[in-house]
Amino acid sequence: MVLLFRIVTGEDWNKIMHDCTISQPKCFTGVNYWETDCGHAVVSVIYFCTFYLIITYIMLNLLVGK
């Protein structure tokens, strides 16, 4: 929740996104999915950009209060 709140406030969300795009050979591949620190470049860019846009519009509507 703290990570998502950090993204909502706009505090270095692009650094978090770039950390999630790390792929071979710069990451450690484990036995299963939970033991690896590799990410997916396309999926992380799509997720973070859409999350930021959607949450920005929700926060804007909360502040405007129509």
Q: What integer pLDDT is reported at residue 40 of this predicted model?
A: 83
Q: What integer pLDDT is reported at residue 46 of this predicted model?
A: 92
Nearest CA to 59 among 7, 14, 18, 3?
7
Tell me if 23 sits within 8 A of 38, measured CB to CB: yes
Rounded average pLDDT over 54-58: 85
Rounded average pLDDT over 16-35: 81
Examine the pLDDT at 15 and tell me if it is beyond 70. yes
CA angle 19, 40, 18 (to 5 degrees): 20
Rounded average pLDDT over 43-58: 87
Examine the pLDDT at 34 and tell me if it is beyond 80. no
